[in-house]
Structure 1
Amino acid sequence: MPTDIPELTYHQGTIKISGNIKAPDAFWDERSKTFRSQGLHYKDITSSLKNLSIEYRDKVPDTVPCPDLKQLYNNNTQLRDYQQDAISSWIQNNYQGVIVLPTGSGKTVIGVEAIAYCNTSVLIIVPTIDLMEQWRFVLSKVYPIEIGTLGGGTKNIQPITISTYDSAYLQAEKLGNRFEFVVFDEAHHLPAEGYRTIAEMFIAPYRLGLTATYEREDGLHTELNRLVGGKVFEQELSKLSGKHLSPYRTEKITVPLEDDERKNYEQNYSVFTDYLKRHNITMNRPDDFRKLVIRSGNDPEARKALLARNRAREIAFNSSAKVDTLRDLLKKHSHDSVFIFTEHNKLVYHISSEFLIPPITYRTTTRERNLILERFRSGVYNAIVTSKVLDEGIDVPEANVGIILSGTGSKREYIQRLGRILRKQKGKEAVLYEIIAAETSEVNTSRRRKNSQKQ
């Protein structure tokens, strides 16, 4: 075989291109004296060379040997109409793109179906160990082969392998040419500065993103166009409510601060706003607050302002009227299944102590959390209070009432919390309460959630 034939090889997440050829998205690497390109561009490079009728040797793929997954696929569940539409849109986009569906609408089902369509080695990437185990449980029921896992102390590479984002990031250089299909569950995590290198190092021509919340507040969701193929399908919550998800209503309850609470709140919050005014700082963009936090590292006045803001928010979050309103709602829904959501762990434990409700926070062990959720599922407990731990990545039991005592203005957070009470159940109507302190920053926070509430 002639030695002057161009050759493609895989090296540490990149495609090395030897020979005098011009490939798309390639850069010159002085150390290896070759052109290189990110693994992401493998499909474009090979397509370009074929279109130009350029002969080349391809030593890039080293894919995990894979049986006929389509033939092995044992699933009698019929896809819902919107799930089939989502799959079709993804296929029409050359088996690339992000599917956006509300929590509880069956995104995992779509991922499982897509694996059969691609019929090749696949890596499913998830944010948590809990989600890794959930995917493994689902996949084991429909594919009669060993399901591999990467994360939580395990490294078992199989034709179908599930990995956490952290483990995939650490192993991307070695695994980037071993899978032809990559599924990014909770794909809104992918554009983060570290995680995006996973998509850049993998050569996989087939890519699927799944998420309930496509947009990121930092605007980095635009990176999903390059990394996965952009948004190819989205279904609004309102169109699924009643048919595929439970019908629901939302109710905002505004409560006043006590006189002493009001006085302390205003004193603290004015320290924060006065600092912003003196330094002509606005909080109009999502990144502004992060910049202020960085500034506080060198500016004692900025640190003082941030601490005062935190004290003011804590007063609003923990107002006595909120606790009284919560007490009334718990009495009203004493025969319902209730999730109580808060922003901070301190309030979680206060509510837990006040109402004898089991708490779930980052401090809760996996064993204890699973026990609480199982008792909630069986009806032993009718309420759970939690911070952000149940927002994402944990399979939670049926609930029909949600109560938000505090939170951010994040659309993602709101949709995820709403999704926790919307799983379909005969005769069920879900209700999500939002309790906010009047004339505090919580009012603006609630206003920022309006777009989410319209969905």
Structure 2
Amino acid sequence: MIILNKIILRDYQNTAIKNFINNNYIGLLEMATGTGKTITSLSCSNFFYRTKKSIFCVIVVPFQHLIPQWEEVLNNFGYKKIIKAFGNFKLYKDDLISTIDDYNYGLRNKVVIITTYNTASKKKFIKNIKNVKENLFGIFDECHYSGTKIYRNVLLNNYTGKLGLSATPLRWFDKEGTYIIKNYFEKIIFKFSLDEAIKKDYLTNYEYNPVLVNLTENEEIKYIQLSNAIRNLYLHIKIEENIKLEEELKLLLIKRSDLLAKAKNKIDILINLLKKEKDLSHTIVYCSKNQTKEIVRKISQLGIKTHEFIYTVSKNDREKILNLFVKGKIQILVAIKCLDEGVDIPSTKRAYILASTSNPKEFIQRRGRILRKSNNKIFSTIYDFITLPNPDFMKTEYSKYNKKILCKEMPRFLEFSNLSINKFEARSIMKGTLKKLNLSYLLYENPENIHLKEENNEKS
């Protein structure tokens, strides 16, 4: 056991640090959400500092609201000079330039900059960071962002030490982005899965409740129309490369995905479920864009204290809202995606997922946030709204569309149900529906393969 700055590291964290050191201070940590990636990475930076005798540490995070969380933890690791670099370059320019000069001339030997991927990808920021003469150390939080085309230039060549953090470091259906990440960080030096974290009692067990929601007849017809249009566009793009057609295809794919996410029956079913619960404190409802206000209004009509938590909420208001949520004075938060990465609210006991993309990065990280340990929290509960075809369309001639709908939902269902404490009960709920659609075999498929196979079928 290593005790670092009064922080007691867990055994698996010690292993991750040793692997990082043995790989010459380069690598990826693939650790489940909630297992202490922040503490582990800063411990790595301290060992780097002890060896090199100086460190200029750059921490890159996805969103501005994560910067205060990192700053709070940094105070325990001996970083006295902390620069927060984001937004208007003029606001931090002088501090950045003078600190780099002080470091290069040996007036400081331990400096940290916390920034965002957006800022770190800007030419002015990059130009200055390239002036750091030695022992530049990069921590890339949620490093899957670094594989995107707009953020790849944050991966500078002059980092002596570089550490990527993510529960899902490899990019979903992006071979080029995944290659860039793997090539830059060399390899995954340590893995700590959600399964291991639950078994070793670092995260809570959870109950998984699939909530089956049928499309209306109009929604099903619209879904079929969109699917046919998407297939036709794939065929045209296959014949000729056309940027306009590709943009049109993206819009159609978003529309079809939104149709499933915003299925009309979901909100009514949610309200009925909430009516049955006696204690709704520390509950999160995840929904689609433009749904938060309607859902907040309907929940509030039940006499339940609720608030939306979206990107337009100011930083100060966010902190107030989260404090009230932790204290139980706000019972339910209605969110879109801004609680998915980095926002720590371990007190969350229950989540209703009305909308989720088919990207595992989103739903795997979302689950991890719900399973964080907290006082008086024995286990967590997840209600996952799974969209099904309209009953009138469960016929042979619509089989390919029915399969398409289920293939969007099944990877998440399989991923969530496999590690739940009620795995067999959850699977039995889906079994009857899948049998009606002649899709029972999907229960035994690898979650990663289902979506890939269906996408390939759509393109062919």
Instruction: Tell me the TM-score normalised to structure 1 length.
Output: 0.73
Q: Secondary structure at the match of 1:449?
A: helix
Q: 1:222 offset after TM fit, Å? A: 2.2
1:221 aligns with 2:178: yes
Q: Secondary structure at the match of 1:241?
A: helix
User: For the residues of structure 1 that align with 2:113 and 2:315, how far apart are their CA atoms?
Assistant: 23
CA contact (8 A) 2:144 2:166 kept: yes
- In the alignment, residue 76 of structure 2 is paired with which amino acid? K
Evaluate the alpha carbon distance shift between residue 111 and residue 101 of structure 1 in structure 2; reply closer, same or farther with a 3 A threshold: same
1:415 aligns with 2:364: yes
Evaluate the alpha carbon distance shift between residue 82 and residue 433 of structure 1 in structure 2; reply closer, same or farther with a 3 A threshold: same
CA contact (8 A) 1:271 1:305 kept: no
Q: 1:226 offset after TM fit, Å? A: 2.0
Evaluate the alpha carbon distance shift between residue 305 and residue 145 of structure 1 in structure 2; reply closer, same or farther with a 3 A threshold: closer
Determine the structure 2 residue equivalent to 1:449: 412
Determine the structure 2 residue equivalent to 1:253: 211
- In the alignment, residue 191 of structure 2 is paired with which amino acid? E
Determine the structure 1 residue equivalent to 2:229: 275
Match of 1:167 among 119, 124, 133: 119
Structure 1 unmatched ranges of 5 or more: 1-72
- 1:119-152 per-residue CA deviation (whole Å, 9 max, x = no partner) reads 0221111122122221111112331612122113
Determine the structure 1 residue equivalent to 2:298: 354
Q: 1:361 offset after TM fit, Å? A: 1.7
CA contact (8 A) 1:359 1:385 kept: yes
Match of 2:150 among 176, 194, 214: 194
Evaluate the alpha carbon distance shift between residue 324 and residue 181 of structure 1 in structure 2; reply closer, same or farther with a 3 A threshold: same
Match of 2:329 among 375, 380, 393: 380
| Alignment map for 1:173-212 (pairs within 5 Å) | 173-178=127-132, 179-199=135-155, 201-212=156-167
Higher mean Cα deviation, 347-356 or 357-366? 357-366
Q: 1:110 offset after TM fit, Å? A: 0.6
Q: How many residues align?
A: 366
Q: 1:329 offset after TM fit, Å? A: 3.8
- 1:149-178 per-residue CA deviation (whole Å, 9 max, x = no partner) reads 211344233512212222222211221241
1:77 aligns with 2:77: no
Match of 2:72 among 131, 134, 137: 137
Determine the structure 2 residue equivalent to 1:230: 187
User: For the residues of structure 2 that align with 1:296 and 1:197, how far apart are their CA atoms?
Assistant: 25
Q: 1:427 offset after TM fit, Å? A: 4.8
- In the alignment, residue 371 of structure 2 is paired with which amino acid? L
Determine the structure 1 residue equivalent to 2:83: 148
- In the alignment, residue 267 of structure 1 is paired with which amino acid? I
Q: Secondary structure at the match of 2:342?
A: coil
Q: 1:234 offset after TM fit, Å? A: 1.1
CA contact (8 A) 1:95 1:206 kept: yes
User: For the residues of structure 2 that align with 1:415 and 1:222, how far apart are their CA atoms?
Assistant: 21
- 1:363-384 per-residue CA deviation (whole Å, 9 max, x = no partner) reads 2222222221111011101111
- In the alignment, residue 389 of structure 1 is paired with which amino acid? C
Instruction: Tell me the TM-score normalised to structure 2 length.
Output: 0.72
Determine the structure 1 residue equivalent to 2:397: none
Determine the structure 1 residue equivalent to 2:220: 266
User: For the residues of structure 2 that align with 1:92 and 1:308, how far apart are their CA atoms?
Assistant: 48
Determine the structure 1 residue equivalent to 2:60: 125
Q: 1:74 offset after TM fit, Å? A: 6.6
Structure 2 unmatched ranges of 5 or more: 50-54, 100-110, 301-305, 390-401, 420-460
CA contact (8 A) 1:124 1:162 kept: yes
Match of 2:24 among 85, 91, 94: 94
Determine the structure 2 residue equivalent to 1:67: none
Determine the structure 2 residue equivalent to 1:22: none
Q: 1:310 offset after TM fit, Å? A: 6.4
CA contact (8 A) 1:402 1:432 kept: yes
Determine the structure 2 residue equivalent to 1:391: 340
1:309 aligns with 2:262: no
User: For the residues of structure 2 that align with 1:292 and 1:252, how far apart are their CA atoms?
Assistant: 40
Determine the structure 1 residue equivalent to 2:423: none
User: For the residues of structure 1 that align with 2:297 and 2:264, how far apart are their CA atoms?
Assistant: 16
Q: 1:304 offset after TM fit, Å? A: 9.3
Q: 1:321 offset after TM fit, Å? A: 5.2
- 1:290-325 per-residue CA deviation (whole Å, 9 max, x = no partner) reads x9995165x7xx699668736743xx6242354224
Determine the structure 2 residue equivalent to 1:430: 380
CA contact (8 A) 1:271 1:308 kept: no
User: For the residues of structure 2 that align with 1:407 and 1:105, how far apart are their CA atoms?
Assistant: 23
Q: 1:276 offset after TM fit, Å? A: 3.6
RMSD: 2.9
1:320 aligns with 2:261: no
Q: 1:240 offset after TM fit, Å? A: 0.6
Q: 1:106 offset after TM fit, Å? A: 0.7
Evaluate the alpha carbon distance shift between residue 294 and residue 278 of structure 1 in structure 2; reply closer, same or farther with a 3 A threshold: closer
Q: Secondary structure at the match of 2:366?
A: helix
CA contact (8 A) 1:345 1:361 kept: no
Determine the structure 2 residue equivalent to 1:113: 43
Q: 1:278 offset after TM fit, Å? A: 4.1
Higher mean Cα deviation, 403-412 or 154-163? 154-163
Q: Secondary structure at the match of 2:149?
A: coil
Higher mean Cα deviation, 121-130 or 221-230? 221-230
| Percent identity of equivalent pairs | 25
Q: Secondary structure at the match of 1:359?
A: strand
Higher mean Cα deviation, 444-453 or 347-356? 444-453
Q: 1:451 offset after TM fit, Å? A: 5.9
Q: Secondary structure at the match of 1:225?
A: helix
Evaluate the alpha carbon distance shift between residue 127 and residue 308 of structure 1 in structure 2; reply closer, same or farther with a 3 A threshold: closer
Q: Secondary structure at the match of 2:223?
A: helix
Bigger Rg over Cα: 1
- 1:333-386 per-residue CA deviation (whole Å, 9 max, x = no partner) reads 5244211111x2222221111112211122222222222111101110111110
